[in-house]
Amino acid sequence: MFLITITINSGQVPTEQAEELLANHRAWFTSQFEAGHFKIVGPLKDKGMAGIVIAKVASREALDEIIAQDAYYPDLARYDVAEFKANLVANDITGD
């Protein structure tokens, strides 16, 4: 599994493209969620223009291909990726 922190470089996003890019970004993570690659997706509450994704894919290479499809890739966002093994998973994880 992978933990991805995505931080949009808002100062580099052209103002006239901001809404379209954000809509495309949201469509990207929704499609990856529906495909079963992204297990949890959400914004960081204490940091604007940033969010996390917990992804489960076959390899880092597969994840890199998915990330490359994001509207902000490669220059309009930073993608910090860490691979981890989930040893304990709560049954009551919710979007709260």
CATH number of the domain to which 62 belongs? 3.30.70
- Does some domain include residue 10? yes
Based on the structure, what is the number of domains in the chain? Answer: 1
pLDDT at 73: 97
Q: Which long-range contacts (CB under 8 A, 24 or more apart) does 83-88 make?
A: 83/1, 83/2, 84/1, 84/2, 84/3, 85/1, 86/1
- Does some domain include residue 75? yes
- Does some domain include residue 30? yes
- Domain boundaries, position 74: 2-48+57-83
- Does some domain include residue 96? no
Can you read off the two tokens belonging to residue 43? 């914004």
pLDDT at 96: 62
Question: pLDDT by residue (tens digit) across 2-46?
Answer: 999 999 998 999 999 999 999 999 999 999 999 999 999 999 999
- Does some domain include residue 92? no
User: What distance in Å separates the CA atoms of residue 67 and residue 76, rounded to the nearest whole number?
Assistant: 12
- Does some domain include residue 41? yes
- Does some domain include residue 69? yes
Q: Exposed/middle/buried for 79, CB within 10 Å: 0-12, 13-18, 19+?
A: middle
Can you read off the two tokens belonging to residue 10? 């808002």
- Does some domain include residue 79? yes
The predicted model scores a pTM of 0.90
